[in-house]
Structure 1
């Protein structure tokens, strides 16, 4: 696998992860769950498993199956393997059958994460019990059951209602439809938030942090982190180890399936696409089938206080800009029209105002023209092919890892971000208009989430979810 010189220098300078080193683990957080971890790394072909990894092994002592000397490329590959293991486990059928063997087109089936808690429903004075559905707005009553989708932007309070504009703009697919978004949390994260009464401003104000993470000098809010307790046990086809499951949060992007979209190429679900109006009477709700086009995974791993960030996309979202420049971009794409010139369809530009998701398709036939600014490295193309191979013929072979961002110096108190690598990482469905390599402007997961605070203005451990307690948005505003 090939990585850039910057990558090599960054990994060589890594103070945390010299080969053969294992850091002592703290006692498990009471909100973490004991589990059997997926400890399989560098297996060829890739081994599919419903088990989540609890750590990113970076030395032979952590996992005897690893090479005796971990080169910079293998360190990054370990994180990328962690990402793919997480992707497969998260998308494993909720009923426990094998991935890709479901009854829907492409072997699709409802995934594990579809039973997780919606962040909007969670951050209320009376959060729903785990496993229960969020409350429905009046406009959605009487429609067939489906997943409630109310976000029209990646950031929770951006264009949630049609009266709330935001800086980056919505994303319009090639059918002229607004892309929809969702934020979910797993059980350990739900338990931590509810158990510490963090769903309201009052609860957050009363909360007193008791944990001082290694990258801080004072007690700071610290979500439970996953970790392996070992030892690793060889198995067929997956090596396993005992461990603990920490907090995981997902951001998901969906396109409304159009007449030319093949359901055998998307993970699909039935949705209630809700659009808030200025008043409850102006709300709208439509039952639609939507397809997954983007997936961010924020995984709190105990050795990495800044979390490990993985981002996946549908492989046919958009071409790389280099392909466009070379004239080799061949459609169809979900967010790019290969027949439209750059003059008529300038890439990566927000749609013209006004933005009103209640009016679809977008007026004037407008569609967002998206290109990938930073091309996938050869290493990502190789690891994607490795993991897509055992998923061939299923919907999941149509998704690819765009990158894994992690802190190279996680315990460095002078750098809250832990000198993350890679420095920039963008998903074309979620950071469409902030791709690139411009400091303080281009997308970076850890750098962005380092700014997250609770409603009292205190650091909230790299998640913006707690800020929802202060916002009057659905379901609080228009719930019956």
Structure 2
């Protein structure tokens, strides 16, 4: 009997030690605000409110990504550890690969991570030069749309300038795309539900929203992170008959961070905004108290969510109208514990007197029950629902009340199609030149044959002359289904 007890006790001790080792390996949740050039790797489950754990993860990522970067192509994605967040210079994320460096017309093989070589949408511009443009020159103007196969809904600030968007991604995500077994920059190689693809753990994707500044526009520049960029000029392009980009100062107003981790394979989703974007909903800082003006709100009635602007998508045939400035509000209040984490970071010595004290976390979302990753598993996102702040006023301006969250949307438009929650590949991947020509010729001959047999109208008269390959992409169709829900 005594021996049996010793065996049982030994087994129990072994179980306790194994569990302790597992907990130690996983790590305790980190809720302590710190200013470091390294983000937190992951967020394990823990007792108590989860918001401090995940919001601290978001802020640590925000600081690490916005740390001044080392210079030179060989140092892409690396922080300059001799500097602090308030020092000058490009930020770490700004040295990540831009979408246009990886997805170019004709699907050429992208240059390596430590290279800035390759075509640039502005033409004749080195990719080390910050560029706000796209090979489809108005793609970076538009938000999401209710119209099948089209982007739409630009956002115009109170200076009558269009908000511009930029997407960049880390080395892990880049290497997943260009892996010789993947080559996801080629449209026909994109993952599918039957043959899903998975990105490397540690992949980081950034989407930034920028205001384009002009002299005399009244912006208090000391309140923003400001850089310079070559910015596509549609008016000059139209007048000169060739692509024209001009250098402008640009101010960061919105910042999405999406990070794939080992414990959260459905990615952790974080969204930041500048505090001067819109009036406060509850206890957020108020630009009027400074006093400075809001970037996207007049400060006058009516204070309602901006309607989707007419005439919709900005494109080659529908040029920007600079007089349609938008009246934007925040539809949902920021979670109280998230606001407390904002204040904790704003009061840190290395943040307090810098522009970064003017940026706030508006939400973090994560998979609460990750389970086994797969095309049908969204990981039970949290928080979710119309009562949660799951929208950035600069990026989901017109979708703040649709009740869908980041993970839920990307589950339908990306992960369910085998693309691991990454949506932009379906929009950006192209066919090699010869394949594209052959496919276009085949479609044209099929349409002519169909028209001859049933006397039906031409494709252009049915679908409009601006129809593109995006109309038939399943990611776009899924996104439209979501946006059309009441």
Larger of the two Rg values belongs to structure: 2
- 2:329 and 2:83 map into 1 onto residues whose CA distance is 34
| 1:112-136 CA-partner distances (Å, limit 9, x unpaired) | 1111001232123221221333645
CA displacement at 1:466 relative to structure 2: 2.2
Which of 385, 398, 407 aligns to 1:433? It is 398
> Please, which of 25, 42, 56 is the counterpart of residue 81 of structure 1?
56
Q: 1:445 to 1:430 in 2, by over 3 A?
A: same
Q: Give the number of the structure whose residues are more often helix, by fraction.
A: 2
Q: Residues 154 and 251 of structure 1 are in contact (CA less than 8 Å); yes or no, is this contact kept in structure 2?
A: no
Q: How does 1:2-21 map to 2 (within 5 A)?
A: none
Aligned partner of 1:52 among 30, 39, 64: 39
Number of positions where the alignment pairs a residue of Structure 1 with one of Structure 2: 383
Q: How many Å apart are 1:248 and its aligned residue?
A: 0.7
Aligned to 1:32: none
CA contact under 8 A between 2:153 and 2:309: conserved in structure 1?
yes
Q: CA deviation at 1:419?
A: 1.8
Given that 1:172 and 1:362 are in contact with CA atoms closer than 8 Å, whether structure 2 keeps it comes out as no
Change (3 A) 1:462 1:114: same
Question: Does 2:231 correspond to 1:247?
Answer: no
TM value normalised by structure 2 = 0.68
* TM-score when normalising by structure 1: 0.69
Distance 2:30 2:169 in 1: 26
Shift, 1:376, TM fit = 1.2
RMSD: 4.2
Contact kept, 8 Å, 1:149 with 1:181, in 2: the verdict is: yes
1:460 corresponds to which residue?
419
Name the structure 2 match of 1:129: 112
Say yes or no: does 1:93 pair with 2:64: no
How far residue 442 of structure 1 moved from its aligned partner, in angstroms, is 3.7
Partner Cα distance (1:173, 1:159) in 2: 14
Query: 1:279–1:465: structure 2 CA closer, same or farther, 3 Å change rule?
Result: farther
Aligned to 1:304, the other structure's residue is in SS state coil
CA contact (8 A) 1:176 1:362 kept: no
Contact conserved, 2:227 with 2:249, CA < 8 A, in 1?
yes
Structure 1 window deviating more from structure 2 (419-428 vs 348-357): it is: 348-357
Bigger strand fraction = 1
Identify which of 183, 204, 222 aligns with 2:167: 183
C-alpha change, 1:290 and 1:358, in structure 2 (3 Å) is: farther
Q: Relative contact order, CA 8 A, sep 6+: which one is greater?
A: 1
User: Are 1:310 and 2:270 an aligned pair?
Assistant: yes
Q: Would you say 1:224 and 2:200 are equivalent positions? A: yes
Range with greater deviation from structure 2 (147-156 or 386-395): 147-156
CA deviation profile, 1:429-474 (whole Å, cap 9, x unmatched)? 00000002xxxx34411011112349xx9310000132145458xx
Asked if the contact 1:266–1:398 (Cα under 8 Å) also holds between the matched residues in 2, the reply is: yes
